[in-house]
Amino acid sequence: MTSRTISAFAAEEERRVLSLKPVLAPVHGRYGDHPHQTYDAWPSGDTDAPLVILLHGGYWRYDRMHLTPFAAYLSEQGFDVLLPGFRRSGGAGGYPETFDDVSRVVDTLPEGRPYVLAGHCSGGHLALWCAARGLLPPGSRWHTHTLPTSVLALAPLTDLTATRRDGLSDDAALQLLGGEEHFDERCRQVDPLTLLRGAGTTGVPTVLLHGAADEEVPLTQFSDYAAVHRDLRTVVLPGTGHYTLIEPGAPAARAVTDTLREMTAAGGRNPHRAR
């Protein structure tokens, strides 16, 4: 396994953002019976607000609390925000439960509204995978023709094989898929890059936004995915690391907000509000 060495810049960014105090959501709900099948909601107060469903990172292991400040920030910027939990790797989740839950989230919580499915880091992986579910074989438990309106992947993990090869986050990809003996078979079902290779596009308008100074996710994950996705839009922020994308009020977070506004303007509005 590759040991992780990061600069003082990256270490300070990680400490600063991940130490932000969690923000309690005004609305909570459930989409299933398991204790992890819950969501937090931040209605913006505008009945014409666009909807963002936000998938948290943490290498599929950690909970969503670190993303609550950013969810609240997006609400202040005029978005209705849903931040779901899901069964996670290393506990009740992993393959297939994590993917069952995220599928259920996107299949039920939008309630017919157009929405942007946004995700950071491993949440970006899950968002890109949701966009690729139409490329799965029809017999797959996750195959669907009902796809997100659009996807914004923030510093995403796009390639589980490379994630395993690089030993990222103490072999998080191996843990997610249940170990070496299952990895290759399961990877074909849940890896965005693998699913994309044959088709060249998911058909879902997709933006990949990342910092040029990201030291958490290797930059090749972004470039390799962009080389395969023929109609992907890529936004690269100079001098920006991995975590400041979700730091409320930071220049990178403002760039995320601007991108979301562009995407929702292109996708239209719906007069109904998030619950």
d(C-alpha 107, C-alpha 100), whole Å: 10
Report whether 82 contacts 51 (CB < 8 A).
yes
| pLDDT above 90 (res 106) | yes
Average pLDDT over residues 96-109: 98
d(C-alpha 190, C-alpha 176), whole Å: 10
Q: Quote the pLDDT of residue 25.
A: 98
Give 8-267's CATH code, choosing from 3.40.50.1820, 1.10.10.10, 3.30.200.20, 1.10.357.10: 3.40.50.1820
Which residue ranges make up each domain of the chain?
A: 8-267
Q: Quote the pLDDT of residue 30.
A: 98
Global pTM reads 0.95
Question: By C-alpha distance, which of 269, 243, 263, 251 is closest to 19?
Answer: 243
Report whether 186 contacts 176 (CB < 8 A).
no
Report whether 115 contacts 81 (CB < 8 A).
no
Question: By C-alpha distance, which of 52, 57, 48, 58 is closest to 40?
Answer: 52
Q: Which two tokens stand for residue 24?
A: 């309690």
* Count of other CB atoms within 10 angstroms of residue 86: 29
